[in-house]
Structure formats: structure tokens, C-alpha cells
Structure 1
Amino acid sequence: MDSSTEEIATTSVDIVHGDKHILIEAVAGDHIAATIAATKKFYEWQFLGTLAEYLAPGDLVVDVGANIGNHSLYFAAVCGTNVISFEPLPLAAEILQRNIAVNSLQEQVEVRRKALGEHATKARLEKLDLTNVGATAFAVSPDGDFVVSTLDLEDIQKRVSLIKVDAEGMDIAVLKGAVGLIERDRPMIACEAATAAQQADLEHFASELGYSFIFRFNATATYVLAPARTALERAKIERRAAGVITSTHWATRDLYYRVGLVASELKSVRAVQESLTTPTSSGHRVDSVIADLSKRVEELESLVSELTARMDRDSSSVD
């Protein structure tokens, strides 16, 4: 399998996030590239937005499995943090370096081209699919071509505020190789656990190190864990949770208000539509306007119903 960028087509998407303009290059046809292009948002932006609540400018984030840099760019450009990005796949690491350079984030983001695990060893490339580069998988192999380090062996002197791990099956091994760092800094942890066995391993790891699960995100289950060993750590979790719940309730109320405004506008449009169908209205042009208006009203009414149902489900899950 070729893991270099030679003869691999790429595409670039410009994201506007608040007052930030971020250019992200990705492999053409890749799932992440297609999602960013369709939404004009960072990939997994809801997940990233939640993590941002736990970060401050100048904090240090360790991004394990950085891929092309979607998450690293968000942490650096939007949150103002420093980032150490670990990415062993050459084609992804090269695009990552270009994304850092084009967004002038060289002073904030450091790339380390190596895999991480529980022990220092080597690995081989097990799976590479150019339509889903983020699912690239490595397997430990003594005669492999890729260096595997551990976070505890890496030179990381500044306190780490967040460790994000997306290592396609090696996630728990990465955390096991970071016990010293985790105990030293007690960072937030965001870790993918795709299978029931991996989730059980993550639960065991969290219980041993005194961490609590506080959020779950993404199509492939990704959990956010917070340190909860001491009374102070637990109090921080409760305070932040209270803020998140309050914000969610206000956001839901605001959405209901906006849906109400749309519903009111639909009622006015419906009244205009009905007036056009009176005997005094005639002509092909009016008929065409009525048909188009009817179709649009039906679409908007369906949208309002769908949004209201979603908000009801979301509100219930928060409660």
C-alpha cells in the first residue's frame, strides 16, 4: 500500500468559523473532505465545540491520530491552544504540515510523525482506504516500517490540558502508554472506542485512573472523560455540567422561539395563498405562483415539524 502523497489528488475547502478563515486541504474523495465541503464546517464540529469549553488560549493539546489536521487546526486556530500532533501516515502527515503552514500556525502546532502505543515498538500499515483516510489502521509488528512510541516516552514538559485519541483500535494502548503523563497533569481525555470490547477496556482504564465519562459523540463512539478522583475534580465536573445543561436549555428555547416565528410566517403566507385562489384572481401567471407557493409552504411546514420533533427529543435527553 502506498502511503505517500505522490500522485494522490487533493482538494481544499475554506471554512469560516466566527472571525476565523481556515483553509483545509484533504484527499479528494475522502469522507472527511466531502463532509467539510458539504457543511463548510470543521469535521465533527459539535464534538470539537464541546471540547473547546474545557480549553483556554495557551493550553496544550495532544492530538493522537491527527490525520490531515482538522482537529489540530480547530484547537490551534479557534481555541488558541498549542498542539502536539501525532500522525504516522506519510500522506496524512504531509497534508497536515501543509495545512499548518497555509494557516500560519507553525508557532502553535508541532507535528511528530510517529504512531503511539502502550510500549515502544514498531508497526506495519494494516489498512489504508483513500476514501476514508481517517480509518487508516496500524498493527504492532516487530519488523514493521513505522516507529511506535508512547506518550510517557515523549518529551512533553508543559502541562497537557487535553489528550484526544483516534488511533483506530490502538486507542486504549495509547492511553496505557500515557499513565505517567495522565497522572502528572490530569488532563481531559477524548478517546474513540468503536467496539463493546474497547468500551469495556476504556471503562476499566477510567476506573483505575479515577476518570468519569461525561459525553459521547460521533458516528464511531468517542467518549469525553474528566478526572474525578478527588472532591475538587468532581466539583469541576458538576460545575461544567451545570453550565452545559443551562446553555442547552437556553439554546432549545431559542430554537423553539425561532420555529414559532417561522410558523407565524407560514400562516401569513398561507393567507396570501388563499387570497390568490379567490374568484377574482385569474390568469396563468397567478396559477403558477400559487403552485410554487403551495410547494414551498408544504416544504417549510414539513421542516418545522421535523425541527420541533428533533428539539423535543434533544430536550428529553438532556432532562
Structure 2
Amino acid sequence: FIHAPVHYLKGNLSILKGYLIKIPDYTVMKKLDNSLNFFFDFFGDRRIHEMYKGIYHPHVVNCLKKYLKKGDIFIDVGANIGYLTMLGAGYVGKSGKVHCFEPVPIYFNLLSKSAKMNKEYNFILNNCAIGDSPGVADIKISNLSNIGWNTMVPVFDIEPSKIKEIIKVNVIRLDDYIFESRLEEVALIKIDVEGFEFNALRGLIKFFKKNKDNLPLLIVEVMPSIAYELKDLESFMLKHNYRAYDIITECPIDLKQLPTTTDVLFKPIK
């Protein structure tokens, strides 16, 4: 609040307004603020309620809105049901492209449904996971009403009684995908993969090295004490020319001091 009172107050005002919006008790298609259609299937998760009200991850949304421009390429890793994907598509416009990755079939189907309702935009949908070792991996699907609580991290603390199923998913490296797709310039990559973010970032090493003078912005959900040490992540990012910033204030931060799961903005070091 001290460093960014205006951002803080605006964000909280939006959240307060959101609580006044009534949630339908049925499936509905609604236009988002950027005029894209989005398919809302209310199956008990408060996160979908937040999306409907326009108060889901407001600081990530503000960052996408600030840095994406018409004609850009946006990559969404861990697209889930596609809310941030659709917002990103609106910001890059019909001349831009959105490449998204979601391995969980039920969420990929909902993502696909929203993409089909916006045919004039350029979506490239990939039903697979991103990691550092191509192949096949297990992903735990939670039986709780939490659309984000699915993980490929073996040590992720999901009680056996809360696991709905474990499925096999294909895993690819994002740098291989970028090169094979001949993506010339990537503006921004968002990574939200429930503790698997370091693996996803290691799957970008070849891209980081080849494009060290033209690196994209990264928005990464960082989860302390899951499957890696924050000091190792910080060292890796610095080695590949990235510094961590607070996503709201855009002040530099010490990754090692993060107390809890945090969306972090990584900017190339000039």
C-alpha cells in the first residue's frame, strides 16, 4: 500500500464492486470487458465467480493490459479454462496470436469452447503440459471445487482422499515449440502451473540463450517450498538475464523472501 496506494485502492474498489454482482445459477456466455465471449460453467468454484465479476487476479490482468499491444504474440502456459487467455486475446487483437497450453481435458474443453466463440481471433490451442523433459507425465486432478488445484509435482501436498484421478499427459519443451512454430517475437509469457513453474522455465533455456537480446516479459506464479528452492530459481533467472519485480509496484523484489504463492513479473535485464 505504501509503495502503490493508487493501485491498491483501485484494485480493492474493483473487488468491492464485484461483490455486488449476482452470480447466475446456470451456464452462461458473457462478453468480457474487452468484448470477447467467454463461456462460464459455474460448478462451485469461487474462482469462476471472480472471473464473472471481473475481479479474478486483477494485478495479472492489469499487467497483461499494460504490456500487450495489437499484433503481439502472447503465450499462456497453464491456461486452465481460458479466462486470462481471452483477455490476452483482446489486448493483442485480431492481428495478434495467443498460444495456450492446458493439459487437463475438462478445462481444455472449456477453453476450446470459448475460443470457438471468438473465431475472428487467432488462438493456437495445445492440450499438453510444458516442462523441461519431453514425454509423458502424471498429473493429479483434485476432487475439490478448485479449478487450479491440479499438479504434476510429486511432493505437492494433496491428500489422497482429495485426488479425483491421476491422468497421463503429454509434456513438451516450450523452447522447442517456439522454434518449431517459428515464432519471431514473443511479447509475454504467463506461467501458472501449480508448482511446476521451474520445470517450465528450464524448458525455455534454449530460447533464453538464442534470444538474450530480445527476451519477452514473464508473469510467473511462484510457489515457495514446493519442489525447488527460491534461491535456485532466482539464480537461474539472473543467469538468463531476468530480474524479479513486484507485479503491482514493479519495484525489484528478493525472490528468496517470498512468504507465500505470488504472481511475479520478470523483466529482462537491460
Q: How far apart in 2 are the matches of 1:85 and 1:177?
A: 15
Identity in percent: 25
Aligned to 1:273: none
Q: 2:187 aligns with which of 148, 151, 161?
A: 161
Residue equivalent to 1:54 = 67
TM-score by length of 2: 0.71
Counterpart secondary structure, 2:174: coil
Residue type of the partner of 1:53? Answer: K
Query: 8 Å contact 2:68–2:91 — kept in the other structure?
Result: no
Residues 216/129 of structure 1: CA separation in 2 closer, same or farther (3 Å cut):
farther
* 8 Å contact kept, 1:135–1:168: yes
For the residues of structure 1 that align with 2:122 and 2:113, how far apart are their CA atoms? 14
1: distance between equivalents of 2:109 and 2:264? 28
RMSD: 2.5
Residue number in structure 2 paired with 1:103 = 118
Equivalent of 1:77, from 90, 104, 107?
Answer: 90
Counterpart of 2:173 in structure 1 is 150
Q: Which secondary structure state, in structure 2, belongs to the residue aligned with residue 213 of structure 1?
A: strand
Corresponding residue number in structure 1 for 2:215: 186
Unaligned runs of 5+ in 1: 1-8, 234-319
- Equivalent residues in 2 for 1:184-223, closer than 5 Å: 184=211, 185-196=214-225, 197-216=228-247, 220-223=261-264
Structure 1 residue 62: Cα displacement: 1.0
Q: Distance in 2 between matches of 1:10 and 1:150?
A: 38
1:78–1:202: structure 2 CA closer, same or farther, 3 Å change rule? same
- Number of positions where the alignment pairs a residue of Structure 1 with one of Structure 2: 214
For the residues of structure 1 that align with 2:137 and 2:72, how far apart are their CA atoms? 31
Matches within 5 A, 1:242-281: none
Partners of 2:42 and 2:129 lie apart in 1 by 20
DSSP 3-state at the match of 2:56: coil
Instruction: Give the Cα separation in 2 of the matches to 1:122 and 1:21.
Output: 34
1:89 to 104, 111, 123: 104
Higher relative contact order (CA 8 A, sep 6+): 2
What is the alpha-carbon distance in structure 1 between the residues aligned to residue 27 and residue 144 of structure 2?
13
Return the offset for 1:130.
4.8
**Gap runs ≥5 in structure 2:** 1-24, 155-165, 249-259
8 Å CA contact retained: 1:151, 1:174: yes
Distance 1:204 1:173 in 2: 14
Q: Give the partner amino acid of 1:157.
A: R
Q: Bigger radius of gyration, 1 or 2?
A: 1
Deviation at 1:94, TM superposition (A): 0.4
State the partner residue of 2:56: 43
What's the CA shift string for 1:120-161, capped at 9, x where partnerless?
A: 121112232451111211247xx9621111112212312211
Aligned residue type for 1:14: K
How far apart are 1:116 and its partner, in Å?
Answer: 0.9
Query: How big is each residue's C-alpha offset from its partner over 1:93-142, in whole Å with a ceiling of 9 and x where there is no partner?
Result: 0000001112335x4111001011111121112232451111211247xx
